[in-house]
Amino acid sequence: MPPAPLIDLSILDMDNIVADKEAIYSLLPHRYEFERLDRIVYFKHEEEDLRIAGYHDVTDDEFWVRGHIPGKPIFPGVMMVETAAQLVSYASMTVCDKKDEFLGFAAIDNVKFRGGVAPGQRMIMLGKMEEIRPRRCKGTTQGFVDGKMIFEGLITGMWL
């Protein structure tokens, strides 16, 4: 049985854009086919509790569709992890003073895939920052499609 959502999905307003692609990628260096976040729609930072939600609309013209899997394209799990990592990076970069440094992968733990994402679907990614320190950050993440959890994992990043 999956854990409870980090953020109540019913309170997310997909029309309330906290950050569009331009704002997201003003902080993140990813470009072209590696821009995994389309919008941030929730950002709440109160004392030690930082929670964030964003989404990626999976389209049929993405680079992986042709080969993963022909006739039944499924968004690769590694791309779900990348989307989660970008969400954690955006949250960390927003609240820290290291905006000119690169935040790279350090670890991924407790990852579970619970379903798939197909072209035409919206994957909502939720995050809760567990720690943001001078050398690293950690965030618990969850991915949802149509209200169903399809992904969860703990992402650790380190400034390089």
**115: domain CATH number?**
3.10.129.10
Structure tokens at 91: 């949250």
Q: Domain for residue 96, yes or no?
A: yes
CB-based contact 157:29 (threshold 8 Å): no
Q: Is 68 noted as a catalytic residue in this protein?
A: yes
Give the total number of structural domains in the chain. 1
CB-based contact 93:99 (threshold 8 Å): yes
What count of other Cβ atoms lies within 10 Å of the Cβ of residue 115? 14
Is residue 47's pLDDT more than 90? no
Q: What is the pLDDT of residue 10?
A: 97
pTM: 0.96
State the average pLDDT for the chain: 95
**Residue listed under structure tokens 């927003």:** 94
Report in angstroms the alpha-carbon separations of 32 from 26, 35, 36, 62: 14, 6, 9, 10
Boundaries of domain holding 36: 15-159
Is residue 26's pLDDT more than 90? yes
Q: What is the pLDDT of residue 98?
A: 78
